[in-house]
Amino acid sequence: MNSLPPDRSFGHLIRDVNRYFQRELGRRIAPLGVSLGQWYALRVLWIQDGISQAEISQRAGVAAPSIVAALRSLAEHGYVVRDRHPTDQRKNIIFLTKAGRQLESICLAQAIEVNAFSLAGLPEEDVETCMRVLRAACGRFVEQAEDAGAAPEI
């Protein structure tokens, strides 16, 4: 029988780091009135707004019902507005408001701090090697999805 202890599993270690990272980021953005679910939607919209809920869901790698709930809450707080798609009335297009755009620098500052904390004390070349390995591993899954004719999803 083959054995793969958790501390030797690439996937398990990534999962653990992600859990710790998300927990810390969530703790830091909560006082700003932003939940982790809202963060995922905002992060996509800060890069490009004026896109559909489905596009936000796909780009964030979050299930559509969760994105719908996050967007509803963001709209209630005045951070986003929904408009009807110009050619497909079944779709909503999401835009950031001025207040939603203003959250970007303070929320991203928290994410930058969590990144810095997680990598503190590591040599720069180790960080670069780790980033290269993670991008390559992610790329393998994207290639596999593309070879299968599917859209790469997170």
Q: Provide the residue ranges of all domains of the chain, joining segments of one domain with +.
A: 30-122
CATH code for the structural domain at 30-122: 1.10.10.10
What pLDDT is attached to residue 1? 56
Q: Please state the pTM of the whole predicted model.
A: 0.85
- Strand, coil or helix: 80: strand
Strand partners of residue 51: 94
Q: How would residue 153 be classed by pLDDT, with cut points 50, 70 and 90?
A: low
Strand partners of residue 14: none
What pLDDT is attached to residue 32? 93
Asked whether 49 and 79 are in contact (CB, 8 A), the reply is: no
Asked whether 89 and 82 are in contact (CB, 8 A), the reply is: no
Cα 3 to Cα 9: distance, rounded to the nearest angstrom: 10
Q: 41 or 148: which carries more pLDDT confidence? A: 41
What pLDDT is attached to residue 92? 85
Residue 39 has pLDDT above 80, yes or no: yes
Amino acid at 18: N
In this predicted model, what pLDDT tens digit does every residue of 104-137 receive, in sequence order? 999 999 999 999 999 999 999 999 999 999 999 9
| Region 11-23 average pLDDT | 94
